[in-house]
Amino acid sequence: MRLSEKVVILTGASSGIGEATALRFAEEGAKLVIVARSGDKLEKIAEKASAFPGEVHPIVGDVSKKEDIENVVNKTIELFGRIDILINNAGILDNYLSADNMTDEVWNKVLDVNLTGPMRLTREVLKYMEKQKHGNIINTSSVGGLYGGRGGLAYVASKHALIGMTKHIGFMFQDKGIRCNAIAPGSIGTEIGLKVTNPNMSVLNKLMKHFELFPQTGEPNEIANIMLFLASEESSFINGTTIVADGGWTAF
Ligand SMILES: NC(=O)c1ccc[n+]([C@@H]2O[C@H](COP(=O)([O-])OP(=O)(O)OC[C@H]3O[C@@H](n4cnc5c(N)ncnc54)[C@H](O)[C@@H]3O)[C@@H](O)[C@H]2O)c1
């Protein structure tokens, strides 16, 4: 097993890429704390994972709330005494707004979940990772974090910033045995798009123009496998960078 006894905090674990990652990591023997806002969904995932050798502990939390983040980290330490791996995976889309029609409400909400949450969680776990002298942080960015035409303004800005944060953390903490990398998935078949209410159609239509060239939609498990590679020692010399997994969407 590639993650035997590894203690992992995984956010956004109640569906999609996070759910697939929770199950994949449990198969590989990890001890996981899975985080999302819905306790019922997390419990169902923990139940599915009970067939595997790892352990899965649901903790309800909203990554945009500082007190929830502190609670998740404190409870993980109470349960296991250390944190080996943090996966900042929770994320939301915006309503495909552009700079001329962005609202403060949408901007703040998206940045709080996609960027401030990962920063705060990283800040909290680093307290333990620095003492342990090892740690591994993985951020779920997006091809929207590398290109301008793959999402609304707040989403694209937050995912670009997450890649910048990944590089900064990777550089600053490499001498302390801590790595930080990001994954930039292309389009993956999850619920994320269904959660968008009232999209701005003029922005969306403009973004959709290149979709006819778009090769394929990926499966959550295809991203979970990359999470596993980055979380394992097989990727020990990879730090401060981003792995793109998009079936070739950004190859043109
Ligand atoms: N699906 C795609 O095409 C795609 C592409 C690139 C990047 N991503 C990124 O992958 C990550 C996972 O998305 P997904 O596609 O699996 O979508 P999803 O909607 O199925 O999963 C998102 C998860 O984040 C959780 N979440 C949202 N807001 C939260 C909050 N405030 N606090 C705690 N949890 C919260 C949701 O409950 C869910 O568990 C996101 O960061 C997303 O931006 C997805």
Please state the atom number of ligand 1 nearest to the C-alpha of residue 64.
Answer: 31
Query: What torsion, rounded to 10 degrees, do the Cα atoms 207, 158, 113, 235 define?
Result: 100
Q: Which two tokens stand for residue 67?
A: 């007190």
pTM value surpassing 0.95: yes
What is the biggest distance separating any 2 CA atoms in the chain, rounded to whole angstroms? 51
Q: Determine which of 45-49, 85-89, 156-160, 215-219 has the lowest per-residue pLDDT on average.
A: 215-219
The pLDDT of residue 171 is 98
Residue 211 has pLDDT above 80, yes or no: no
128 a catalytic residue: no
Answer whether 183 contacts ligand 1 (Cβ < 6 A). no
Residues 198-215 as b/e (b if ≥16 CB within 10 A, e otherwise) read: ebbeebeeebeeeeeeee
The pLDDT of residue 213 is 77
Could you tell me the distance, in angstroms and rounded to a whole number, from the CA of residue 114 to the centre of ligand 1? Answer: 9
Answer whether 207 contacts ligand 1 (Cβ < 6 A). no
Q: Look at residues 188, 249, 186, 247 and name the one whose alpha carbon lies nearest to residue 214.
A: 249
Q: How many Cβ atoms from other residues are within 10 Å of residue 111's Cβ?
A: 18
